[in-house]
Structure 1
Amino acid sequence: MKYTLKEHLAKKLIPKDAIEERVNTVAKISQENVKILNESAKGKKRKLIVTMEAIHVGRTKNYTYYTEEGLKAGLSSWTHPYNKPVLTHHNEYNGEPIGRILKAEYSEKTLSGKPGLIFTCEITDPDAIEKVLDGRYQTVSIGASTDKVICNICGTDRTQEWCDHWPGEKYEDQTCHFIIGTTYGREVSYVNTPADENAGNRTVEIVTDDGDTQESVHVQVYQMAEGLYQNAQDPEVNLYEHLNEDVKKLLDAMSNVKEESGKRMDGKENKTTENVNANNPEQTPNQGVPVQENQQGVQDNSNNTPENSPTPVQENKTVSGVADLEEANKRISELESKVSEMQATITKLVMEKVKLESRVSELESENNTLVSENARLVSEVHRALAEKVVDLKLSLRKSDVIGVTREEAIEAHVARTKESLTDTYNDLLAEAKQMRPEPGSVKNPGYAPEDNQTNESFQEEKMTAKEAVETMISMFSPKKRR
């Protein structure tokens, strides 16, 4: 299949200034909206001071991974050179800011149990103030830029070059995500579905024009019933299933106390109405209250036994219910503290795991480099051995290297194994040594004897003095000119 232009155009690099942590899903809105503050400040000019958890260390639903180093490195960018805006739905081009970020800090401990960025924001838009107070503006998402986006599968910087890995897809049982470098802040927005599910408002203060400040409250609501204990912001998770039996009994007792209290109140009202109607059918319900009291007085005088008096029993039950409620709240606080500690421990372990995986990747890269270098050196040594064998064969005038170039002979010998070349080289060395004369065996190395004449036979022929003189004269006399 040919590589098409459409496929090429689809391979877009990730822009460094286009990080928005939200997901395109339908928002899950809780039935019980959180009411943070009362309306005592209505009619006055007011603003909100909101503390929010903006982004946390770890992977989001967009499969982007934020590191502690990256969040800390870009921390000052949220308030310098100017305080970044608070927007809605990342509309940073033509949207009106509803407030500003006053302070940004990195915290190891948050209410969600994960380390991350904590923003202190000032909300001044009147419509936004109402929506924050009634819980419509609850979850947030950051808009930021970065210096690099690293693929965790291959280590490619996707802002500089393309790779074939997609976030969320699995490659050899490893899920792909992009590791964000330094996070440079642009804005924070209220959104319906944040990619970081723990990002949102944590405390809210309302400040009026006369300087009054309402007490801040934590935006954490838990729903409780028999067999049910859940956070209103996460209604799909039933925390009851993860509690031990003692805590489950306490929660069930709290639920039963609440239900019995409601039933007793309903029963008391019904009994009051019945007594009024029995003694004075024409009397209205508002007039029946003193009749109820008179009737109780008659009952007390006619029958003073403790068994027939319902009031002490009801008081004892109420006191017992309050005690159970206090004990359950105490136990829940202890469990929440333990859960936070466990989440912090898990977070640290995850970060340590990420660091170790990064170190393993570095070591694997170094190992691959060394393996490649070793293979290159082995190849060079093998070729050098082949060159030595070819050179020896050329000096010995071997038939397999006659009629071909030296490079062709070398390439043919490179294809042989190291053992074969080593054996051939040793054999050629031995043969060359046999053909080499022993030192001192040549009497006259400058004289080449005639065919079938040995050096010894030449040495046996002696010259006379006259022949020697003539030989010397012929050697040093000038040549005759023709």
Structure 2
Amino acid sequence: MKYTLDEHKAKKIVSGRELLESVGITGKIKPETVQQLSESAKGKGNRKLIVQMEAIHVGRTANYTFYTEDGLKEGLDSWTHPYNKPVLTHHNSHAGEPVGRILRAEYTESTISGRKGLIFTCEITDPTAVEKVLDGRYSTVSIGATTDKVTCNICGTDRTKEWCEHWRGEEYEGQTCHYIVGTTFGREVSYVNVPADENAGNFSVSIDDGNDGDTAESALQIFQIAEGLMQNIQLPEVNLYESATDDIRQLVDGLMNFKEGSNENMDEDPENTNQTPVQESVLQTQLNEANERVTKLEKSLSEAQATLSNLVIEKTKVDSQLVESQGEVERLTTENADLIEQAHKALAEKVVDMKLSLRKSDVVGVTPEEAVAEHVKRTTESLNDAVKDLQAEMQNTSAQRGTVQSPGAAGEDNNPNSPQQQEGSKTNMTVAEATNMFKGMFGSKRNR
């Protein structure tokens, strides 16, 4: 069938949103588009993909993390500075290798899903990843990021600085707990099977095969327009259909007529009579398979959430026991330090007492308290050495000295009733002194 210019002019001009509704598109890339993109790329080397994706949106995700508009805007530059953050798979930032890089990050008030959030333009260069993006296996994404603040919506505690007893997903007096993220500093974006943000995923894919021609770009425009996808997400009012070339409009009109099941086309081409039912059957089969996969994934997600809840409970118990253990360790450490200090002071007092008994110069003329305070400054090893030296000195002194009873007639006080005589006072003298004294006493008697 030949498509004339008059027929084209007679057609109604529709906006991107009207076109989206007319063909029943939900904002995801259709399987037929993926197939045509894949076919157009076969046999072309060094190809890469330019993928646009809705990466994260303002609001609460399935893992009870709440992203704010200010937080996403303030961390926007971090996705491409100081370097372009990687595109990974399953958040494997350690052992995995990037399949591409984020070329541009934008915050937008309007997306295909109708929610505020971040739009990433990414370059996918890994050959395996290119195939999986084109056949639809890599379609949903999840961001990996850090933040400067995490606020509990129940009590307002900043959990980066303090601990609170509220857990994400748990209800407290009828209110579900979630954590409000501060500035979102980008680290990576990953293709995942089940994203926490259900609207996060690819919405536009183009193939760059290294050629200078505009065939791929034209094909991309066709599919974007036919599926209601905006090239500039921030300007949804732009009518791409109206600004397209006549050739592209013809192709778009053909796609729309096919979607509507034009009887005129079917009558003029009898061979295509069964084409629509066959394709509908294939699509229905694919839809049923997709629903089964979704059911299995939902079941797996429920089991994972139950397991996570149990782990959270166990972690709470372990954390409580750890806090108690740390308190006991601190108490015992304090007590041990006190005992060590007391033992050290007792050792210093012992050294001072021994020095006082030996009339050492460093303790004579000062108070015992001052002498002890000065000796406490010494190390335990030094004090132990001093005790050993003083004990040895005291033993030597005892060996060299003797104890002699003072004679009644000797000395200046001969009164037997004096206190000195009544108490039988003793005078310590050396052996030599005692010998000389006895010689003097007995010598005097012999000379009489």
Q: Which has the higher contact order (CA 8 A, sep 6+)?
A: 2
TM range (shorter): 0.3 to 0.5
TM-score by length of 1: 0.40
